[in-house]
Amino acid sequence: MFDRNPSGKKINMKVERNEEIFWTCPFCALVCDGLPSPFFKDGLIENLPSCQKAEIGLKKALTKSTKKDLAFGRKKFINLPNAIEQIRSKLRKNERIFISGLGVDVAGAREVVKLACKFNAVVDHKYGDILSKVSKSIQNKGALFCSLSEVKKRADLLIFLGTIPNIRTPRLLDRIEKEGPGNSKKEKYIIGDASWSEEVMLLKLQKLSAFISTSDKQYLDDDLELLMNKIDGSKYTAIIWDPNFYSDYAEDIAILLVEIVRHLNVNYRVSILTLGGDEGSLTMQNVMVWMTGLPLRSKFSLGNLDYDPHRFTLSSLLKKKEIDTVVWISCFSDDLDDSLDLSEISLILIGHKNYGNKLDKIMSRTKELIYIPVATNGIGASGYLMRGDGVSIIPLCKLVTDGLMTVDSVIKELLGEKEEGYGDV
């Protein structure tokens, strides 16, 4: 059976100039708002933002493909009701379900929690490793974070770890400096450089922490002395770091930074801007906590919730063969970690339409595949995303009409919410 799109209607992708003058980009943790709204003219995207990452995300989400709008069940294309029914029956039958990916907006995240609760699933984001390390540091030591707006308006000194993180968050400095009062440049200091290993950075921060808490100058080398002089001469210092650069020691570094800033704040004004939140990770983490009281890497079980950040990871449960179904939900990207061994599981893919161009490859990795393409919030649908500072929820506007359902509407169908009035967890 072969339909033109999941809803059974003929696809007529309508791409026109958005009535909004401004656009909000969903493709990294900065969730930049106030960008000129892109639009199609003569088959080309005009008004592209001056950010390569946004450009790549836009082009992927807007490029037409032969298979992007088709639901796919087992080994053939099917219509949406059929795909929904196949997924429902799979979830009812299978008992060891892991929901991951989780590139979703706030509404999608809410439905994910309900889905996990209904089918007793484990939930974790694809960036769960870093997310759980930073969460553990907050659980242990608390947080002394600031918002992006605070850095823009108040900081006069920016301290970075290793490098200015302008690959993962390309417009970071533009946002801090150009959007700040007076459009002024801020002083910058980088601790170490990009070649430093995680261990070397950790050691440097340990020395800094030791000096700040004891005032013993034996811990000060030339670099740290210069750094302390700069902090001494500034009114407001922001320490900006991206935990994704420190996959092994993110938790230790986060704890050390809190210790350093806690002591420094006795005499100075210093804060931390932690850049997390790519692909809806902070959105999903926060919605999970709002709704259940516990973070991701938790397992629902007959109305109870078991949180275990070491045990409930997708790669380890796949290795131990403790799951039979993976529900991978991802509306912002078309990635599916190549290192995951999916050969013995059923894969339910609720994702970016560009997965449609990769179905043969994905199917060759799994025992069974059911795929429903969904709109990207901020492109084919409106929505809300939490910015990487973990403080602001940013509205996303719809840019084009592509005829695809959103993640939350697909999950509502799966839950039969409209018919059965399935309530909050």
Q: Give me the residues that bind ligand SF4 (CB under 6 A), please.
A: 25, 27-28, 30-32, 49, 51, 53-54, 169-171
DSSP secondary structure letter of residue 113: H
Residue 240 to residue 168: CA distance in whole angstroms: 13
For the CB of residue 378, give the shortest distance to ligand SF4 in the complex, in Å. 9
Residue 176 to residue 192: CA distance in whole angstroms: 22
25 or 260: CB nearest ligand SF4: 25
3 or 242: CB nearest ligand SF4: 242
Beta-sheet strand order (sheet of 298-301): 76-78, 71-73, 368-373, 346-351, 325-330, 97-103, 122-123, 298-301, 304-307
135 or 169: CB nearest ligand SF4: 169
For the CB of residue 175, give the shortest distance to ligand SF4 in the complex, in Å. 7
For the CB of residue 58, give the shortest distance to ligand SF4 in the complex, in Å. 9
**For residue 153, what are its two tokens?**
């308006």
280 or 309: CB nearest ligand SF4: 280
27 or 160: CB nearest ligand SF4: 27
Helix%, strand%, coil% for the chain, nearest 5: 40, 20, 40
Residue 414 to residue 58: CA distance in whole angstroms: 28
For the CB of residue 408, give the shortest distance to ligand SF4 in the complex, in Å. 21
For the CB of residue 278, give the shortest distance to ligand SF4 in the complex, in Å. 9
Q: How many CA atoms lie within 13 A of 156 on its CB side?
A: 10
Closest CA to 113 of 419, 333, 411, 397: 411
For the CB of residue 35, give the shortest distance to ligand SF4 in the complex, in Å. 6
71 or 385: CB nearest ligand SF4: 385
Assign 425 to helix, strand or coil. coil
